[in-house]
Structure 1
Amino acid sequence: MKSDGLDSFYDKLGNKTIAPPINLENDDLNKFDSENFLNNYVRKTDEGFNQIDLIIEGIHCAACVWLNEKILHDTKGIIQADINFTTNKARIIWDEDELKLSDIILRIRSIGYNAYAYDSSIADIQATKAKRDYFIRMMVAVVASMNIMMISVAKYTGFFTGMDNDVKHMIHFAEFLLSTPVLFYSGWVFFKGAYFGLKNRVLNMDFLVSSGATLTYIYSLFILFGAKGESYFDSVAMIITFVLVGKYLEVIGKKSAVDTLDKIKSSLPLEATIIKDGIKKVVALNSINIGDIVQLKAGEKVPVDGKITKGNASFDESSLTGESIPVYKNVGSELYSGTINNDSLIEYEVTKDFKNSTFSSIVTLLEDSLNSKPKIQNTANEISKGFTTAILSLSLLTFLVWYFFGIDLGFDYEGTNHFEKSFIVGISVIVIACPCALALATPIASLIGISELAKKGLLFKEAKFIESIAKSDTVVFDKTGTLTKGELSVVKMRILDENIHKLNLLYSLLDSSSHPISVSVKKALLKKYDNLELKNLNEVKTINAKGVTAKYKNLDDKEFELIGGNIELMRDNEIWYKFDSTSSVYLFAINKKVIATFELEDEIKENAQDLIDYLKEQNLNIVMLTGDNEAVAKKISEKLGIKEYYASQTPISKAQYIKDLKAKGKTVVMVGDGLNDSVALGNADVAIAMGNSADVSLSISDIVLLNSSLKSLKESFVLSYRTYKFIKQNLLISLLYNVVTIPFAMAGFVMPLVAALSMSLSSLIVVLNSLRIKMK
């Protein structure tokens, strides 16, 4: 981390352990190393390291996150430490051979924070407690400041009408009494943050607020006890109040952004009814085991994944897929947690425990996505480094220039002496600077973007993929199941002989096969003829990749040879029927005479054309890779207007194509759904899998379309572009704010209380601007 410009911080800290200011019994630390605790909260990564999610108590700003991450990164044995500013949730990966979990907790406590294992219910309680404490401190500041403002009316009126010194002293004393609890009680959070920052050689935002308010307070004390000039107790109270109010509004803004996640998490039931040895028992979700039988009543939500063993019902799966039409399920059908049983009592066998069930996995991935940081945030972090030191230097320089050179470009504060004017202008520079807006620019917009994407059925596994999509220049599509439905449909049917007996034989042959082509032809045949009957066929044989043959004897012992399949099967049986088509075909022959032909195509998905047109408008290069033959690939690409396509692709050739694009400097988004796409997905910059994809494709994907809708896929691009645009806007707003306001403060145009209000407003503007992501 020396490249981060923190040499002095690390040189000072070295490998020593800082004396912990939070005094807790050793037994409290020992529990973190107990076998029971580790089994419940710690899991292994693929690399064999330990991983835990902690809640860090005491974080109130982005600077706190920065400090904790830096301290943890400098701890030997910690592989990774990422903290979510919104939820205070930290994901820590460490090598247990290097250090124990209790050592990590002690490390966090050494800088004034506390940590405990993440539990959503406990986290909510702690968050509510912290919010209430914040609110009380803010209200003390607001009430005291309102009274100071009323008193200040009399003080400033006295500037023009004249005021006795004794009265003036009484006003100063009243302001002193009111501002003191504001500074030392309401402002305690800033003093605490500044203290631990200084202890670790880090100058943070808390130091700017606390130092600006404290210096003004000390100067005002000199005035109160006899020095010549005007007190600024009102400015002290206003600085703390404005910043606290801004922080509180910031919390409310973030709360609005995470409402979607909270709503999702709270929608699952807390208990379920299981049947064991014929006895019903209500148990907590985390007590349900694989193999248990769960009873589900009409109107109840499926608590964990499973397969129906008794009964049938229709299920509302809109919470997962966005599809409003109920899905009918019977014995053997799979159930997914979070879906709703609409109408009947059923029983099902549990196939996944609560932790690994669909709904729980989605919530976990959503929470994890908020821990990741887009690359653009690194830019903000680079800018933020040294910010406080630069501001303090500018403040000191401003004071010296004003005091020694008498430069006065701003307002003349009537009744103030030269030192006082120089001092107040220097304080204004400290107070008006705002690194918080810069620190908030990326995480708050990313949080809102992720929440909005989740509403659209889009599961981003990491927030950084928002930026990756926004910067992409090439989108590669698989065809089958991605751009097309993956289900063949009959587009042309020719019945050359409509004899009902022969049609019954065709129907019977089709019924003997489960091949997708046979199923589709059978469906089309039944749609046209509703009086077909099944016949008993003999010697039914399936010829791989070609079709089915069989024999049938009628009551007169007359034998019929039945053949159904593609052109190759007909030729193998010396049936020379001329039939040209670019579609998949199915021919049916009786005794070597073709009596029916069918042409089938994989239909293009709804909204596919709209998606392709939109991507073209964004000047993205669109490529289609498919394992199908040239004729089929050409037809689909022409229909959708995709100029670049490659047919007869193997999983390896697809992956190689992605690698070649990346070698040319392209940023590639790959969209696929099957096992054959998994290697290519793994090589793309952003891998997007359909919700009905093979498990391996889902596991290696970066984004999952829960409803497999191409409309949702378009939304992923639209919202990613929109979110990334607002991230850049936020960065610009925060940079422009500091570039414009700091020189104004240095020139003497800004009083400290105005500076405090301005600083708070800058953070609030960033939050409000981010909330515009929701608007369309």
Structure 2
Amino acid sequence: MITEEEENGEIRYFCCKGCQGVYHLLRSEGLDTFYDKLGKNRLEPPKELSDDLHKFDLEGFRKKYIVERSDGLYEIFLIIEGIHCAACVWLNEKVLHQTPGVVEATINYTTNKAHVVWDPEAIKLSQIIEKIRAIGYNAYPYDPKLQEERANKARRDYYSRLLVAIFATMNIMWIAVAQYTGMFTGMRSDVKAVLNVAEWVLATPTLFYSGWVFFRGAWFGLKNRFVNMDLLVASGASLAYIYSLWAMITGKGEVYFDSVTMIITFVLAGKYLEVLSKKRAADTMDALSNALPTEIMVIENDEKVMVPVEEVKPGDIIEVRPGEKVAIDGVVVAGEGSFDESSLTGESEPIYKRPGDEIVSGSVAIDGVVRYEATKDYGSSMLTTLVGLLEESLTKKPKIERLANEISGYFSLTILSIALLTFVGWFWMTGEFERALVVAISVIVIACPCALGLATPVATLIGINLAARRGVLFKEAAYIETMAKADVLVLDKTGTITEGKPHVVSYEAYGEYDPNWLYALAKSSIHPVSQGIVRYLNEHHERLEEVPLQKVKQVQARGITAEFEGHTLLGGNAKMMQEFGIDVDEESEYTLFYFAVDGKAVARFELRDLPKQGAKEAIEQIRKLGIDIVMLTGDNEKAAARVAEEVGVPHFKAGLFPEEKAKEIDILHAEGHVVVMAGDGINDALALSKSDIAIAMGSGSDVALEVSDVVLLDDRITSLRDAFLISRRTYKFVKQNLALSVIYNSITIPLAVAGYVIPLVAALSMSLSSLMVVGNSMRIKSAFKTK
């Protein structure tokens, strides 16, 4: 719908109210020159986009993507398509903030993810989307699958550009060898012209297709008044290309198309490594949401009804069965059973719940049917609150500033200034435009920050590959640097230091019995203790058979009963034995399991969660690196003290909830420490997100894996030691590479300014500096014997 207005006798036309609003917004901010740059292009939403706006107001769309808050406001996460720089973020946020009805709008530049809150009484979502489209962008609901496709598309794009560049460089070098040979042995002018054209054919797609990313980066950098490495690469390659094109057409001078392709290829390789190492922008919240049921069973008028979790209100009676996950906090009103809270508290043993006990969302029912009264709604339950805290923590997590970027920010502007002054000086002294241009290009090319740009990614790539061979996955190269600077390691206990499952540590037989009976009885239960008995029997007996038991019954939070060929079998704790009139010894600091046949105890097992193999040695070696180690666990004080003593952890705190673990991380940060944390459960996710480097065990929860920066693929704590050793050595070589690059430029740039270096030698010298960096980085492997 065309909108028009008159101002000072001049009529202005707008494609919609959105564009009209943006026009006045830009004018009020002094940015109306935007329309001068726009030229004759019309800024309007495409018709095909306008036609689908109605879907954003449909009821089905609202239920799927929009969250209705308790204060009546709506909120949604959108992906803003078309954002290229910080200015784009500013413009979108500014427009949304100026839109009546929009309460909040924040955009993450890294992920292009926008969080929008609005008043549905004042504005519709379709109008918000239309406003975004009116200023030249597009918006759609956040979907992790679409984000993964977007990331894969970016990787494929860089890959195809790099393939073209490598192909052209390899072939152009063969031609260059012939030309260099001809300079000394003689070459007919017509042959030389053909070779020049062949090089031009190869250099052109390299510059304008493969090198497009540098032109685009340089353009957005200039728009924001920032001289970056992209501008230096683009200007050096472009000037060499333009001069070579002139030399090819006129037949005067030498062409340097090989320099063009080498510049683009080397730096693009570094860019591609950067893209590969970027952390996947999938939302951690989705992993948490998928872990919870979308519907739960509510008791209404003595009838069981499946109700969406969002519709449950405090006071509703909820039924949970074995194997089901609790979605809403509450208090038990009927029934009793064991609940696994390890994903929240880290407690290694199931917790027995009876009427009056609290149940927290995120825990899993192991045995018994329990009914409980909801004390909170879905939005304020334990796990949902944890999600909110985690979301806030992730958005506030500081970005890592790389040393190379800090140097290159000043380096690029300095080199361009030197090149310009060199051109002016030589032209003033000699009056020869060609000579002045060649010297200026030599300055840019020889100082082209290939070595500087590759100093970090090449060393870190080697470090990442070495780490991967040793079971350590760094999700982003920059994390190696941060981990190398760490001075405190925080460890979760269950599943990180220990194996996270009970093992038999003591066995006593009171009489003879058939181990097949116990094997069948223990296998009939999913309880962690029963599974520990199964593992023990498998390790100590051969050819066990699972005999067919009858009348198998799970006794809530106590054990199992069954019958076989007229015999009564019992397996469980001391309380169960006593209930069946069997006298047993209860004294032990570990978990006890008894096996009884026909009313007589025949075996006694003691179980506990054991430290992982090599944990003590690995922790000792990490401490020798000067890293202090702290253990934070939700388990009880006694169990925590025992494990800390066994593996040599000097400091620990027990009985902590997720938010308390996170507070301990904040305290360490306040004291000036760089903190690395390793954990494996949902209970660790918040603390992991607060740490400078988050490390997840490979067998840990999906949430811990999503929020982590480093994953120990083989689940071994010795891999944690290797991660520290590799990161420190890699960072050492990164600093060496940067120093080599600075020294190289300090020597070669003055030579180029003095006119002693032609572009050909400059390109070869640039390549030599890159090879020097790569060769030095290869030495990282020398300290480790890879698997």
TM range (shorter): 0.5 to 0.7
2 CA distance for matches of 1:20 and 1:764?
A: 46
Hey, what does 1:643 align to over in structure 2? 650
Q: What code does the residue aligned with 1:394 have?
A: I
CA apart distance, 1:202:
6.6
Hey, what does 1:609 align to over in structure 2? 616
Hey, what does 1:394 align to over in structure 2? 418
Q: Deviations over 1:28-84 (max 9, x none)?
A: x66677759x99xxx989973432688x9xxxxxxxxxxx546645654493445xx
**Retained in 2: the 8 A contact 1:508–1:537?**
no
Summarize the alignment of residues 431-580 of structure 1 with structure 2, pairs less than 5 Å apart. Answer: 431-446=445-460, 449=463, 458-496=472-510, 498-500=511-513, 514-521=526-533, 524=536, 527=540, 542=555, 544=557, 547-548=558-559, 564-566=572-574
**Retained in 2: the 8 A contact 1:504–1:535?**
no
1:207 maps to which of 225, 232, 235: 235
Hey, what does 1:413 align to over in structure 2? none
CA apart distance, 1:711:
4.1
Q: What code does the residue aligned with 1:693 have?
A: G
Q: Does 1:153 align with 2:184?
A: yes
Hey, what does 2:253 align to over in structure 1? 233
**Retained in 2: the 8 A contact 1:458–1:712?**
yes
**Retained in 2: the 8 A contact 1:45–1:51?**
no
Q: What code does the residue aligned with 1:516 have?
A: P
CA apart distance, 1:467:
3.0
Q: Does 1:244 align with 2:261?
A: yes
CA apart distance, 1:653:
3.6
SS, match of residue 76 in structure 2: coil
**Retained in 1: the 8 A contact 2:695–2:708?**
yes
CA apart distance, 1:26:
9.5
1 CA distance for matches of 2:401 and 2:754?
A: 33
**Retained in 2: the 8 A contact 1:246–1:761?**
no
Indicate how the Cα distance of structure 1 residues 232 and 534 shifts in structure 2: closer, same or farther if over 3 A, else same.
Answer: same
1:633 maps to which of 631, 637, 640: 640
Hey, what does 2:764 align to over in structure 1? 757
SS, match of residue 673 in structure 2: coil
Summarize the alignment of residues 101-250 of structure 1 with structure 2, pairs less than 5 Å apart. Answer: 130=161, 134=165, 138=169, 142=173, 145-146=176-177, 148-149=179-180, 152-153=183-184, 186=203, 189=207, 197=219, 200=223, 204-205=231-232, 206-211=234-239, 233-234=253-254, 237-238=255-256, 240-248=257-265
CA apart distance, 1:215:
6.7
Q: Deviations over 1:167-189 (max 9, x none)?
A: xxx97x99789768867983683
**Retained in 1: the 8 A contact 2:462–2:777?**
yes
Q: Does 1:673 align with 2:687?
A: no
CA apart distance, 1:774:
6.6
1 CA distance for matches of 2:43 and 2:449?
A: 37
SS, match of residue 496 in structure 2: helix
SS, match of residue 375 in structure 1: coil
Indicate how the Cα distance of structure 1 residues 208 and 596 shifts in structure 2: closer, same or farther if over 3 A, else same.
Answer: closer
Indicate how the Cα distance of structure 1 residues 44 and 376 shifts in structure 2: closer, same or farther if over 3 A, else same.
Answer: farther
Hey, what does 2:742 align to over in structure 1? 735
**Retained in 1: the 8 A contact 2:612–2:717?**
yes
Q: Does 1:382 align with 2:406?
A: yes
**Retained in 2: the 8 A contact 1:466–1:724?**
yes
2:753 maps to which of 746, 756, 764: 746
SS, match of residue 236 in structure 2: helix
SS, match of residue 488 in structure 1: strand
2:76 maps to which of 41, 48, 52: 48
Q: What code does the residue aligned with 1:467 have?
A: E
Q: Deviations over 1:182-229 (max 9, x none)?
A: 6798368379867974985776222234446757987x899x8xxxxx
2 CA distance for matches of 1:624 and 1:737?
A: 46
CA apart distance, 1:588:
6.2
**Retained in 1: the 8 A contact 2:487–2:628?**
yes
2 CA distance for matches of 1:749 and 1:574?
A: 100
Q: Deviations over 1:313-335 (max 9, x none)?
A: xxxxxxxxxxxxxxxxxxxxxxx
**Retained in 1: the 8 A contact 2:467–2:726?**
yes
Unaligned runs of 5+ in 1: 1-9, 57-67, 83-89, 107-115, 158-169, 225-230, 262-371, 407-415
Q: What code does the residue aligned with 1:472 have?
A: A
SS, match of residue 652 in structure 2: strand
**Retained in 2: the 8 A contact 1:175–1:233?**
no
Indicate how the Cα distance of structure 1 residues 607 and 388 shifts in structure 2: closer, same or farther if over 3 A, else same.
Answer: same
CA apart distance, 1:241:
1.4
Q: Which has the higher mean CA deviation after the structures are superposed, 683-692 or 448-457?
A: 448-457
Hey, what does 1:721 align to over in structure 2? 728
Number of residue equivalences: 581
Q: Which has the higher mean CA deviation after the structures are superposed, 96-105 or 734-743?
A: 96-105
SS, match of residue 385 in structure 1: helix
**Retained in 2: the 8 A contact 1:179–1:233?**
no
Q: What code does the residue aligned with 2:414 have?
A: A
1 CA distance for matches of 2:179 and 2:683?
A: 71
CA apart distance, 1:516:
2.7
2 CA distance for matches of 1:525 and 1:729?
A: 55
**Retained in 2: the 8 A contact 1:494–1:597?**
yes
1 CA distance for matches of 2:675 and 2:49?
A: 43
Unaligned runs of 5+ in 2: 1-28, 57-63, 68-74, 94-105, 117-127, 139-146, 279-396
Q: Does 1:655 align with 2:655?
A: no
Percent identical across equivalent pairs?
A: 33
**Retained in 2: the 8 A contact 1:246–1:763?**
no
Q: Deviations over 1:10-40 (max 9, x none)?
A: 999964474589x99999x66677759x99x
**Retained in 2: the 8 A contact 1:217–1:233?**
no
CA apart distance, 1:602:
1.8
SS, match of residue 613 in structure 2: coil
CA apart distance, 1:125:
7.6
Indicate how the Cα distance of structure 1 residues 69 and 450 shifts in structure 2: closer, same or farther if over 3 A, else same.
Answer: farther
Hey, what does 1:274 align to over in structure 2? none
Q: What code does the residue aligned with 1:626 have?
A: T
1 CA distance for matches of 2:239 and 2:32?
A: 24
Indicate how the Cα distance of structure 1 residues 128 and 394 shifts in structure 2: closer, same or farther if over 3 A, else same.
Answer: closer
Hey, what does 2:346 align to over in structure 1? none
SS, match of residue 746 in structure 2: helix
Indicate how the Cα distance of structure 1 residues 769 and 92 shifts in structure 2: closer, same or farther if over 3 A, else same.
Answer: farther
**Retained in 2: the 8 A contact 1:432–1:742?**
yes
2 CA distance for matches of 1:437 and 1:595?
A: 73
Q: What code does the residue aligned with 2:488 have?
A: T
1 CA distance for matches of 2:669 and 2:200?
A: 56
SS, match of residue 233 in structure 1: coil
Indicate how the Cα distance of structure 1 residues 432 and 12 shifts in structure 2: closer, same or farther if over 3 A, else same.
Answer: farther
Indicate how the Cα distance of structure 1 residues 759 and 70 shifts in structure 2: closer, same or farther if over 3 A, else same.
Answer: farther
2 CA distance for matches of 1:397 and 1:216?
A: 22
CA apart distance, 1:770:
5.2
CA apart distance, 1:585:
3.1
CA apart distance, 1:376:
3.7
SS, match of residue 48 in structure 1: strand
TM-score between both structures, scaled by the size of structure 2: 0.57
Indicate how the Cα distance of structure 1 residues 207 and 94 shifts in structure 2: closer, same or farther if over 3 A, else same.
Answer: farther
Q: What code does the residue aligned with 1:244 have?
A: T
CA apart distance, 1:398:
4.8
CA apart distance, 1:605:
1.6
Indicate how the Cα distance of structure 1 residues 751 and 657 shifts in structure 2: closer, same or farther if over 3 A, else same.
Answer: same
2 CA distance for matches of 1:174 and 1:509?
A: 88
Q: Deviations over 1:577-601 (max 9, x none)?
A: 7665443334568999876433222
CA apart distance, 1:554:
11
1 CA distance for matches of 2:461 and 2:495?
A: 31
Indicate how the Cα distance of structure 1 residues 574 and 476 shifts in structure 2: closer, same or farther if over 3 A, else same.
Answer: farther
RMSD between aligned residues: 5.8
